[in-house]
Structure 1
């Protein structure tokens, strides 16, 4: 990915920015795209940045209407930016805990939040993240060492669609075609004819080695790249093809007599421990090394930044917004989870510290350390309040979720800075986005997972992020002594491998480190069914092969086609769940 756009945008006078049609388009796209991230987060633990999809769809819609009606004003550059800001803020609502700590809290305590309190909670965490991002914005965006590659990718797409409108229309056709194909396959599999899950043998089927007819997984494979895809395949072979049979043979995992079909639920209860340990230790080690490697500002630069950005920036309206966000999140921790107010207050400075760390890492590398900051927040509260599930999960959710949301929104601010957008209008767009995302995301989650105890951590809904938060909370609550000796050794082995791989990945030259397995994908393969890892690996390999033969085609259309495959299946899957709920009424 290039660090900066290849061409400069022409000077643009801001005529329309926070217009009703820009906001409503972003709201509509946010309602459509938020379910995709909730669905994908519960299936594979990953989400997708929706900025580029929102840009393409909004441009195609309004430029098409303007072309048919000569009196209709053109869709401006700044309206496109507001549209993508609202939509991406809505879709990033999963950072607020909807697919990780909230379900983990239900699994450990049996307490399921009602819809309105859950919406309020997810909104409050994200709302705090917005105001943290607002105060980080001046200093971080003016730091020339932070390029924010993801924001630059969105900016480059914005350039292309306004310089080459025909190219945008071509991408829209690819996006829609891929979405229709993926949605059709999902509809056939769910309503017309259950597509068989082929397995080479009954023994391999029991170990979850089946072919899952999911084009969404193929689409994610096209996005993650060949290194991550091959690591998923290797991890699946190691965990489910090597370790799982050994566990069964040595009676460390006891399956039901005459059991048939995939035995994911029984095996993942053991396999998740080394996988989670590897992921946590690798991400924390890599984060620490990257922070130590970051160039330090000279004292004169630091003093200039303070003078320019810190003093005078705490103006009354933004200060009121930040104070309101703090009051809201502290009050909800006390009311919904029974957390002492002083303990809830500790989540605020931790959220700010983690947001600074995460935003600098994202700005420098483009890699969002969301998993790492979540585990850091859990470990911090595990030390402060050992043995308390609510604090370990929900106060940590406040700190980690707000930091994650702030990190996501810094990319929007980077795009806005490059095109001369009005910052406070972007702030309003982000607030509207998380409001819409909170409502849509919670409704989708409750429709998909009406009974978390029965549905989560199953082959249909592996929910690896939920498994990770739950495992860390259990370990901090009970201690390693409550686990079997074999599990303790597995945790030690996974942790050691994670530290080693995380350190090597950050210390070795990039040309050497790219041959190492991806630590996040390797740990994830222990938690996902082998069928999911296989399909994602297939998507990565196919995209790589096409790129070797036709590089220009993949550069233009690979991400767009993959996004269509993801959106098509996830929206169809959510719609099918809504339809089943209506039929049962």
Structure 2
């Protein structure tokens, strides 16, 4: 049987180019709604569609092999997942709390380094995790099934691509019109409702994300928005716990969220940590498969040397960029390795990357070891979160590669080049979108819920609960108790009952997002559900492609519009 081409130049360049094009979508979405999107399947479809089309059009063009598709999606997903390195959470939170913003060069080095560490942790975890039958890696399996499907039915990939590009074009045109030609009205029935952020937001990105997250999460966001902004917010104003400036008009998101974020963060942190702990207990009870001693590893010195380089980079950058003591910098490394391993097992078992929980658990750990030190609390914890993010992304790619007989060290090369490209593009996009984090973040335009979460946890651990008003402390207590209950139910409930439970992370998120965003995401989830009821076969093939196109079209256009406005202001 002939050996397929694998790490060809065109496969690498295609993956890197797609990663650089898709990274802005995740940065934009992360700052808007606190979520990012796995880009493996999008990169897979685009790469296959282009190169297979070229092979058909020009007969001498060699066909695009399955192994090349795997290298392409590995590099692209690595670049797009660079947001887990801290760009949309601890790094902006650090700026908000300290007033210090890193220049582009040091920021690129930092984001790359924490991601580079995660890659080599994944390399050493690979033999045991891939042969553990209890770990299915659902995201990786979804990519693998899509790959098998498009190679069995080539026309299917072309149809899905047409839908994706059509949705992206429509979303981009709506964003262009709204930005440059005619601003769509942000309508609200009354001034009181508008003040509580219940306005119409003509964002197709939000509708697309609603289609991706599903009905359970979408309805939870709707319920959370009604509870937080329709119930608690008017009560806060009536009781004088939040006071608005005289004569203020329009949505009052910035003032109200200063109170509402605390119960929301408590709910999210407690629920994610509870669910994480229970899932770990469950996975340990399952029978472990035997680890293969040989899975195509390179000589032992090569990965060890790269892991050592990653450690050196992390320690030096923590000391140079954040004035963190060498002992604390070194302490972040075993914690990062342990928590990345935890995250990889959870993703393998559930498909849910617990990056937020890993980051918050790290913050709690450093809050105990080094109380009152914001840089350590945020950036040492960022090491664990960033490493866990890249580790889980690569483990999903390894799962695909293992199933098709790919060469692991070639996937490592693609992943390393991917994070380099993602670091360069992601940091530049972040700098363009948010030139002034202190003035722009935690606002109606850029709610940045992940930033709010990291900032709130750091503030609590630094200044203590005594710095908060009694009403906020009571709200945090009730939010934490609700999170414990929902997190436990989420971990132990069967698939049949899970769909009837509210999503705890989404419920907490609704307290931090403007109600307008939650409403539009809920609308997208409901529309996707209704479509699946009426046309189930079509929904299975095209709903995710349509939703992904809506997300990509608006986000990439939004980044381009910000860049254009920046050039005009120079």
Shorter chain as normaliser: what TM range? Answer: over 0.9
Question: Residues 448, 434 of structure 1: CA spacing in aligned structure 2 closer, same or farther, 3 A cutoff?
Answer: same
Quick one: distance in 2 between partners of 1:403 and 1:351? Answer: 7
Provide runs of 4+ in structure 1 moved above 4 Å. Answer: none
Establish whether residue 473 from structure 1 lines up as the match of residue 473 from structure 2: no
Residue 405 of structure 2: aligned partner: 420
Report the equivalent of 1:499: 484
Compute the displacement of 1:313 (Å): 8.1
Aligned with 1:156 (options 121, 124, 145):
145
Contact 1:161 1:168 in 2 (8 A): yes
1:5 corresponding residue in structure 2: none
User: In structure 2, which of residues 137, 161, 179 is the aligned counterpart of residue 172 of structure 1?
Assistant: 161
**C-alpha contact (below 8 Å) 1:359/1:410 kept by paired residues:** yes
Gaps of 5+ in 1: 1-11
Q: Distance in 1 between matches of 2:405 and 2:51?
A: 22
Matched, 1:370 2:346: no
Task: Report how far residue 292 of structure 1 moved.
Answer: 1.4
Q: Tell me how far 1:70 sits from its aligned partner.
A: 1.1
Distance 2:144 2:514 in 1: 36
1:509 offset after TM fit, Å?
2.9
Matches within 5 A, 1:136-535: 136-296=125-285, 305=291, 308=293, 315-535=300-520
Look up the match of 1:96: 85
Q: Distance in 2 between matches of 1:314 and 1:479?
A: 49
- C-alpha distance in structure 1 between counterparts of 2:80 and 2:285, whole Å: 34
Q: What SS class does the counterpart of residue 512 from structure 2 fall into?
A: coil
C-alpha displacement of 1:494: 0.4
Shift of 1:168: 0.4
SS at match of 2:479: helix
CA distance in 2, matches of 1:508, 1:572: 41
Counterpart CA distance in 1 for 2:324 and 2:113 is 16
What secondary structure, in the 3-state scheme, does the structure 2 residue paired with 1:211 have? Answer: coil
The CA distance in 1 between the partners of 2:224 and 2:368, in whole Å, is 32
**Contact 1:291–1:361 at 8 Å: present in 2 too?**
yes
Q: Which residue of 1 aligns with 2:523?
A: 538
**Residue 577 in structure 1 maps to residue 562 in structure 2:** yes
In the TM superposition, residue 296 of structure 1 has moved relative to its aligned partner by 3.4
- State the 1:512 CA deviation: 2.0
Distance 2:364 2:201 in 1: 36
Say if 1:239 and 1:13 are closer, same or farther in 2 by CA, change over 3 A: farther
| SS of residue in 2 equivalent to 1:473 | helix
Q: Distance in 2 between matches of 1:476 and 1:314?
A: 44
Q: How far did residue 15 of structure 1 move?
A: 2.9
1:549, 1:338 → 2: CA distance? 58
Task: Pick one of 548, 562, 572 that aligns with 2:547.
Answer: 562
1:479 Cα offset (Å)? 0.4
Q: Secondary structure at the match of 1:526?
A: helix
Alignment-derived partner of residue 104 in structure 2: 115
Q: Distance in 2 between matches of 1:380 and 1:13?
A: 52
| Structure-2 change in CA distance of 1:125 and 1:258 (3 Å) | same
Where do 1:57-96 residues align within 5 Å?
A: 57-96=46-85
Residues 81 and 389 in structure 2, CA contact (< 8 A), matched pair in contact too: no
What is the aligned residue count? 569
**Per the alignment, do residues 69 and 446 of structure 1 end up closer, same or farther by CA in structure 2, a change over 3 Å counting?**
same
Q: Secondary structure at the match of 1:168?
A: helix
Structure 1 counterpart of 2:3, from 7, 14, 39:
14
The 8 Å contact of residues 31 and 436 in structure 1, kept in 2 or not, is answered as yes
Which range is displaced more, 314-323 or 270-279?
314-323
Q: Displacement of 1:308 after TM fit?
A: 2.7
Distance in 1 (CA, whole Å) between partners of 2:279 and 2:114 is 26
C-alpha distance after superposition, 1:501-550 (max 9, x if no partner): 11122223332232111000000000000000000000000100111111
Contact 1:199–1:209 (CA under 8 A) maintained in structure 2: yes
Q: Secondary structure at the match of 2:245?
A: coil
Contact 2:298/2:409 (<8 A) preserved: no
Give the Cα–Cα distance (whole angstroms) in 2 for the partners of residues 500 and 400 of structure 1.
Answer: 25
Deviations 1:73-92 (A, max 9, x none): 11111111111111000000
Aligned-pair RMSD on alpha carbons? 1.4
Unaligned ranges ≥5, structure 2: none
Do the aligned residues in 2 keep the contact of 1:139 with 1:309 (CA within 8 Å)? no
Question: In the superposition, relative to structure 1, how do residues 314 and 342 fare at CA in structure 2: closer, same or farther (>3 Å)?
Answer: farther
1:164-197 deviation line (CA, Å, top 9, x unaligned): 0100000000000000000010000000100001
* In structure 2, distance between residues paired with 1:503 and 1:309: 38
- Distance in 1 (CA, whole Å) between partners of 2:427 and 2:326 is 25
User: Does the Cα contact within 8 Å between 1:279 and 1:523 map onto a contact in 2?
Assistant: yes
Q: Supply the distance in 2 between the matched residues of 1:261 and 1:69 (Cα, whole angstroms).
A: 58
Secondary structure at 2:285's aligned position in 1?
A: coil
Distance in 2, matches of 1:160 and 1:62, equals 17
Equivalent residues of 1:219, 1:561 under 8 A apart? yes
Q: Equivalent residue for 2:113? A: 124
Deviation at 1:255, TM superposition (A): 0.5
Question: Closer, same or farther in 2 for the Cα pair 1:231/1:118, shift >3 Å?
Answer: same
Q: From the superposition, tell whether residues 410 and 203 of structure 1 become closer, same or farther in structure 2 (CA, over 3 Å).
A: same
Counterpart CA distance in 2 for 1:13 and 1:432 is 27
* Deviation for aligned residue 1:295: 4.2
SS at match of 2:445: coil
Deviations 1:284-305 (A, max 9, x none): 011111111224366xx68x54
* Distance in 1, Cα, partners of 2:8 & 2:294: 29
**Secondary structure at 2:358 match in 1:** helix
| CA distance in structure 2 between the partners assigned to 1:514 and 1:292 by the alignment | 22
* Structure 1 residues 550 and 256: alpha-carbon distance in aligned structure 2, compared to 1, 3 A threshold: same
